[in-house]
């Protein structure tokens, strides 16, 4: 099997840098999320207008992500006390990666706008939380996303990959203390 591309990524000011390893379309899921939480996270970072078309993410496992510099500046921001960890570069307020609040489920969604070259990700295969004309939200290709998430997560949990994460310490605590975002008005 041929290895995929290694893609560098960085925050807006270049303090937090890293590499997304072994990128191949079948090893992750390229999605666009239109949920209110993703839009709010972008607004909190001063990127509100960029969320209008959704937030472009590559869903994978944390073992594929290497933080090269600035790990001490990467802070998990939560929009609610039980919400996702939205790892943000504190130096320039760049949203970078989403994970669950513990390493128990090996999942990471990296914001593709921070990648030096998103081409190896392949095409977007799904859109989540799209608001229809009736105001209800729906998913385009949601079953495919869920199947790929389950397959990747189970494989990672059964192997060593499930224990390799740059976001959590060996005891399961985050590398930096979580911050609760101010409530929306």
Show me where the domains of the chain are located. Answer: 5-168
What are the tokens at 38? 């993703």
Mean pLDDT (whole number) for 142-167: 83
What is the reported pLDDT for 185?
A: 60
Using DSSP, how many helices (H) and how many strands (E) does the chain show? 2, 12
Stretch among 7-11, 39-43, 137-141 having the lowest mean pLDDT: 137-141
Whose tokens are 């999605």? That residue is 31
* Burial (CB count within 10 angstroms: exposed 0-12, middle 13-18, buried 19+), residue 91: middle
What is d(CA 149, CA 29) in angstroms, rounded to the nearest whole number? 8
16-25, 89-98, 122-131, 134-143: range with lowest mean pLDDT: 134-143
Sheet holding 65-69, edge to edge: 5-10, 17-23, 65-69
pLDDT band at 84 (very low <50, low <70, confident <90, very high): very high
CATH of domain 5-168: 3.90.1590.10
Q: Is residue 26 scored above 80 in pLDDT?
A: yes
Q: What is the DSSP letter of 104?
A: T
Least confident of 2-16, 72-86, 89-103, 134-148: 134-148
Which tokens sit at 83? Answer: 């919400």
Site of tokens 């489920």: 105
Q: How far apart are CA 116 and CA 99, in angstroms?
A: 21
């Amino acid at each position: 099997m041929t290895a995929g591309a290694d893609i560098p990524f960085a925050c807006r000011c270049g303090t937090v840098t890293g590499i997304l390893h072994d990128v191949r379309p079948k090893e992750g899921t390229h999605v666009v999320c239109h949920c209110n939480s993703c839009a709010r996270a972008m607004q909190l970072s001063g990127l509100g207008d960029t969320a209008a078309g959704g937030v472009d993410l590559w869903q994978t496992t944390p073992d594929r992500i290497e933080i090269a510099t600035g790990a001490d500046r990467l802070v998990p921001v939560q929009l609610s006390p039980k919400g996702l960890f939205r790892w943000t570069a504190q130096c320039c307020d760049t949203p970078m990666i989403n994970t669950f609040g513990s390493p128990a489920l090996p999942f990471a969604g990296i914001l593709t706008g921070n990648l030096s070259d998103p081409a190896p990700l392949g095409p977007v295969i799904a859109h989540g939380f799209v608001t229809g004309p009736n105001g209800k939200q729906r998913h385009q290709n949601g079953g495919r996303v869920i199947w790929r998430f389950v397959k990747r997560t189970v494989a990672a949990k059964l192997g060593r990959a499930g224990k390799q994460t740059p976001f959590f310490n060996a005891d399961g605590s985050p590398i930096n203390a979580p911050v609760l975002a101010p409530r929306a008005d």
